[in-house]
Structure 1
Amino acid sequence: MSKNSIILKNASYLVFRTLLISLIGLFTVREILRLLGVEEYGLFNLVFGIAALFAFINGAMVSSTQRYLSYYIGKKNNQLFEDVWNTSLLLHLLIAVTVSVVLLGIKDLMLNRVLSIDLKYMESANFIFYFAIISIFISIFQAPFNALILAKEKMSFYAGLSLYDAISKLGIVFCLYFTKESLLEKYTVLYVSSSSVVFVIYVLYCYKKFNKKIQLKVSNVPLLKEMFFYSSWNIFGNFAAISKIQGINILLNIFFGVIVNSTYAITNTVIGVVGGLTNSISIAINPQIYKSYAEEDYIRNSLLINIGSKFSFFFCLLIVLPILFNTQYLLELWLHEIPRYLIYFVQLALVIMLIDCLSGTLMTGIQATGKIKIYQIIVSISVFMNLPLSYLTLQFIPKPWIIYWIALLMSFISLGLRLYFLRRLTKFDIAIYIKSVLVKIGIVLIFSGLFSWLVNGIIETDNQVISFLLSSSIIVLIVLINIVLFGLSTVERQFIQNTIKGYLK
């Protein structure tokens, strides 16, 4: 129960942090879009996105390092824990240097031959690219410090620093208010400078709190090899995921130009906000999944995976459903002027997110085993297939929104593959998952969607704000009632009741 309370407390920190970050982030994007304009904003996301294509390495390394750190915390092996820390620092530095050199080598090829960039923006594109390389170097070398904080479950600091990062990005906007020339270049410099400050804070915190210094040495060669191959397969998997995002960005640029890139970037911002909220559940529960597997408590391990998958979906549904029924109003309120295709992009992307959020703890359960080679090959191929299938489909149906229908199909396929590999690698029971997760969320989704549609059709007032607040409140209430009635087990209801009583006391 104490471990469950820690998960709940950490999830609360992360949800509160993400709500604040979301509000700040949405305002920041709106103002940056207004200050830079659609074309320059699209250019920044396109060029920075090419360098960010290699940020998949950062995500892979964070999850790999967190897995090993959490695993040996669960095993209570301090020596191997120290070996993992030292090894991860060296690995991350080597990868950061390699990626930076590769990016410098392909810069001219990408900017002059692959992308469709107006000549008047070419100098700015080169400038952005150089700073994007610096940003990627920092993010990759920062990964071990990030992973250590997550493995130690210090979510209050993690949440606070993320909030500071968002506020600093907002501060950039206010700096640009007083600038008249070279806005795009100055925004790029300030953006990377902000990320550098966050990196320094991470390093100082880990040194002060955990006495972890930057020591580039290898104290356990077999562990280095094991971590290298494990991380390599994770990098392969994350490459497929980022290729789906940035590859589609390039496809849209080739077929439709930089204006649609801007629409795609705004859509990804919205999805990033909603995804950050739903990922709070997974981030809070992941360390316990790793540790329970290391402790060989497989019953608790499976239970945590099921609960994390189900509650991630429920939390996502609470956010997504009101947005789906009020997409146009919210986008108009946020951006004032809605770019073409944006409403359809956002709605389809949110539906895909509902499917993908089920996979968060499933992937963690697989990662905990350390046996990820075949899993990463098969699932990564299914994710990467978004790119060639989108290209072929656009040849026959030249509509930009078609990419999301392809992504929806592949999300269902990927979910099925993850369940299969989790069953193959662990003692996970798919029948229990179907009964306790998929059936329950299906019932909640059907009843919530039906009643929300009926309510949204009835509520109409002359004041759009009142209509939105009223319909959204009722939709959230409908979802909550359905979750309590159809989505929770008896044990889960009892735990929530006891937790609420404890907070009230």
Structure 2
Amino acid sequence: MPEKIGNNKRVLKNTVFLYVRMLITVFVSLYTSRVVLQYLGVVDFGILNVVGGVVSMFSFITSTMTNASTRFFSYALGKGDKEDLAATFKTTMSIYVLLIVIILVIAETIGLWFVWNKLNIPPERHSAAMLVYQISLMIFCCGMLRIPYNSSIIAHERMSFYAYTSIIEVSLKLAIVFMLMVAPFDKLVFYNFMFFLVSLGITFWYVFFCRKFEECKFGFNRDKEKFKSIFSFAGWNFTSNMGDVAIDQGINVLINIFFGPAINAARGIAFQIKGQVASFCTNFQIAAGPQITKYYAAGDLDNMNRLVLQSSKISFYLMFLVSVPTFVGMEMVLQLWLKEVPDYALILTRLVLVNIVVNSLGGTMNIAIQASGKIKKYVLALTAGKFFTFAVALVAFKFFEGSPEYSVYCTILYACISIFIQCVNYRLVSNNSILLYLREVLGKAIVVAFLSIALVYVLYARIYDAANYLSILLLIVYSFVVSTIVCCCFGFNKDERQKVLTIILGKLKK
């Protein structure tokens, strides 16, 4: 019991660090996006989004190896095997160096041809776009080299360093925005180059900090079995993340081809907000993830199942409580945030909020499934759904003259499919009943969402006026208060409400 309490406190402490980080990064990111759009203009902002998106297509490799590294680090820590931990670090570092070489070859051939010949970029901005592409590749390589160190920090649950470093990073990026006013050459190229310098500096800082971990010693590992186990796990995640590229950056390219860079700018704004809002959920899951993996490695399925159910519910409520007020006040937020709101920015942003709320219903099941290592059928099912989503978007744009928001309708459909896939596969690795998850998480989430939206809509229909900021502020506060009350009354059972109340009272007494 003391160990269980200690683990819960660790998750709570790490969550607090991540939320402090998130609050600062949210405000800085929203402000910088506004200023960058103002100084670069809609077209250059769209170019930055789509050209950077082409490089981001390789991010499926980054996220693949991040998941694999964190999983194997956490698993080794859960078993208490220091030799395996050191071997894992050296193996992943060897893999990253090899991948960087392969990616650069592909990016400087096929990728370069695609940017020059296929993207819809004004002729006078082609040269700037090519420079942005090359600089974005350098930023990507820095990010790749940082992954083993980042995974080790998360596995060791050193979230305070993770939080402080992120705050430093966004502060430096804020400084870059102010420097745009006195940029000595092309603002688009200057902005991207300064980002590279920040990325390089942060990478060196990660390497310096991780010297305190015994396993983080640079070297190459020739253990074929370790290579095989990591590559096997990463290979299936690689397949899944290729599907992520199709949904995110693939659809972004489709929008560029069919609608031009101005709509890419609108989608870029929507995804900026998506990233900030989604962080309310993902930060909590990052804190809970290592404990879930360690429970599985130790064979403690009871505690793992308990943590998955609780963290999945909390994930949805966190996302819902932020998304509902944001949805209500989005028009005002965009008008205050951006001096010039791109066409389709409002509808795309609101639909993206719906998408991430639906997607959050999957909770932390994915972490438990990944911890098991039994991911072949799971990944194949998810990947098939992702490529199907991309195909539907392509057909909608090409043959039915669909508008840009059709892309988000497709991803909402995929989010619903993925929840079902996660439930089935979680049952196979946890020996837990699907009905229990449906009742405790999905069922309560539907009740909370239905009651909250109904109560908010009653007032929304009567007083909403886009030109009256006071009415919108009232609706934002009302929607948050109502949603919070509904979550507390219908989202938690009696014991859970008592625990939450005890924590709050304990904090107030201090």
TM-score (norm. length: structure 2): 0.96
1:447 is matched with 451
Deviation at residue 299 of structure 1 after TM alignment: 1.2
1:263 is matched with 266
1:310 is matched with 313
1:240 is matched with 243
Residue 284 in structure 1 maps to residue 287 in structure 2: yes
For 1:47-126, list aligned pairs within 5 A: 47-126=51-130
| Residue pair 1:356, 1:415 contacting (<8 A) in 2 also | yes
Deviation sequence 1:158-179 (CA, Å, 0-9, x none): 1111111111111101111122
| 1:79 match: secondary structure | helix
| Residue pair 2:120, 2:257 contacting (<8 A) in 1 also | yes
Residue 199 in structure 1 maps to residue 203 in structure 2: yes
| Residue pair 2:86, 2:215 contacting (<8 A) in 1 also | no
Deviation at residue 116 of structure 1 after TM alignment: 1.6
Residue 25 in structure 1 maps to residue 39 in structure 2: no
Counterpart code for 1:44 = L
| Distance across 2 between alignment mates of 1:302 and 1:213 | 31
Residue 174 in structure 1 maps to residue 178 in structure 2: yes
Residue 161 in structure 1 maps to residue 147 in structure 2: no
2:354 is matched with 351
Deviation sequence 1:281-335 (CA, Å, 0-9, x none): 1111000110010111111111111122211110011111011111111110111
Deviation sequence 1:123-178 (CA, Å, 0-9, x none): 11111111111111111121111100100111111111111111111110111112
| Distance across 2 between alignment mates of 1:84 and 1:249 | 35
| Distance across 2 between alignment mates of 1:315 and 1:3 | 21
| Residue pair 1:290, 1:364 contacting (<8 A) in 2 also | yes
**Please, which runs of 5 or more residues in structure 2 have no aligned partner?**
none
Counterpart code for 1:243 = A
| Residue pair 1:33, 1:41 contacting (<8 A) in 2 also | yes
| Distance across 2 between alignment mates of 1:28 and 1:152 | 32
| Distance across 1 between alignment mates of 2:7 and 2:496 | 15
| Residue pair 1:96, 1:136 contacting (<8 A) in 2 also | no
| Between 326-335 and 108-117, the greater mean CA deviation after superposition | 108-117
| Between 23-32 and 448-457, the greater mean CA deviation after superposition | 448-457
| Between 469-478 and 453-462, the greater mean CA deviation after superposition | 453-462
| Distance across 1 between alignment mates of 2:466 and 2:71 | 53
| Between 423-432 and 52-61, the greater mean CA deviation after superposition | 423-432
1:226 is matched with 229
Residue 428 in structure 1 maps to residue 456 in structure 2: no
Deviation at residue 360 of structure 1 after TM alignment: 4.2
| Distance across 2 between alignment mates of 1:366 and 1:478 | 34
| Distance across 1 between alignment mates of 2:432 and 2:253 | 39
Deviation sequence 1:320-365 (CA, Å, 0-9, x none): 1011111111110111222111111011111010011122411111
| Distance across 1 between alignment mates of 2:466 and 2:222 | 70
| 1:385 match: secondary structure | helix
Deviation at residue 471 of structure 1 after TM alignment: 2.1
Residue 385 in structure 1 maps to residue 391 in structure 2: no
Deviation at residue 112 of structure 1 after TM alignment: 2.6
Deviation sequence 1:89-148 (CA, Å, 0-9, x none): 111111122112211111332123221222211111111111111111111121111100
Selected match of 1:374 from 373, 377, 394: 377
| Residue pair 1:328, 1:343 contacting (<8 A) in 2 also | yes
Change (3 A) 1:252 1:118: same
| Residue pair 1:71, 1:290 contacting (<8 A) in 2 also | yes
| Residue pair 2:57, 2:249 contacting (<8 A) in 1 also | yes
| Residue pair 1:345, 1:401 contacting (<8 A) in 2 also | yes
Residue 46 in structure 1 maps to residue 50 in structure 2: yes
| Residue pair 2:313, 2:363 contacting (<8 A) in 1 also | no
2:9 is matched with 5
Deviation at residue 498 of structure 1 after TM alignment: 2.1
**Please, which runs of 5 or more residues in structure 1 have no aligned partner?**
none
2:219 is matched with 216
Deviation at residue 398 of structure 1 after TM alignment: 2.7
1:151 is matched with 155
| Distance across 1 between alignment mates of 2:356 and 2:466 | 32
Deviation at residue 38 of structure 1 after TM alignment: 0.4
Counterpart code for 2:393 = S
| Distance across 2 between alignment mates of 1:149 and 1:464 | 47
| Distance across 2 between alignment mates of 1:211 and 1:301 | 27
Deviation sequence 1:56-108 (CA, Å, 0-9, x none): 21111111111111111111111111111111111111112211221111133
2:479 is matched with 475
| Distance across 2 between alignment mates of 1:297 and 1:233 | 25
| Residue pair 2:180, 2:191 contacting (<8 A) in 1 also | yes
Change (3 A) 1:460 1:397: closer
CA RMSD of aligned residues (A): 1.6
Counterpart code for 1:152 = H
| Distance across 2 between alignment mates of 1:299 and 1:462 | 50
| Residue pair 1:97, 1:137 contacting (<8 A) in 2 also | no
| Between 463-472 and 301-310, the greater mean CA deviation after superposition | 463-472
| Residue pair 1:115, 1:254 contacting (<8 A) in 2 also | yes
| Distance across 2 between alignment mates of 1:98 and 1:214 | 24
| Distance across 2 between alignment mates of 1:144 and 1:461 | 50
Change (3 A) 1:441 1:462: closer
Structure 1 vs Structure 2: percent identity of aligned residues? 29
2:364 is matched with 361
| Residue pair 1:89, 1:214 contacting (<8 A) in 2 also | no
TM-score (norm. length: structure 1): 0.97
| Distance across 2 between alignment mates of 1:77 and 1:37 | 53
Residue 129 in structure 1 maps to residue 130 in structure 2: no
